């Protein structure tokens, strides 16, 4: 969705729609206890917030989610999350 947004769509609330979709994905993943899917949705929302100039909020949410994991740090998702955290720092 984000890749399809043009400047016009961005100004017309496209970012808000994308954020709502990511928030919904996070909520569903939480209800299902699907931590990996939640992490992916949080990473997507964090990237959006970074583009919107909200790196602090992005980092906080991602750090909280990343902090839940106690193993599997060599998986692609957790390596990507760690790299994104470093970018947001």
Query: What residue segments make up the domains of the chain, in order of their start?
Result: 7-88
pLDDT score, position 12? 52
pLDDT score, position 27? 98
pLDDT along the chain (89 residues), means of 10: 53 77 97 97 96 94 96 96 95
Cβ atoms 26, 46 nearer than 8 A: no
Instruction: Count Cα neighbours of 76 within 13 Å in the Cβ-side half-sphere.
Output: 2
Torsion from C-alpha of 12, 15, 18, 19, nearest 10 degrees: -130
């Amino acid at each position: 969705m984000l890749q399809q947004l043009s400047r016009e769509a961005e100004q017309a609330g496209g970012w808000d729609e994308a954020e709502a979709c990511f928030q919904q994905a996070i909520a569903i993943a939480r209800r299902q206890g699907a931590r990996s899917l939640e992490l992916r949705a949080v990473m997507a929302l964090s990237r959006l917030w970074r583009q919107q100039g909200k790196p602090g909020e992005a980092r906080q949410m991602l750090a909280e989610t990343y902090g839940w994991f106690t193993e599997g740090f060599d998986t692609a998702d957790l390596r990507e999350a760690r790299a994104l955290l470093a970018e947001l720092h």
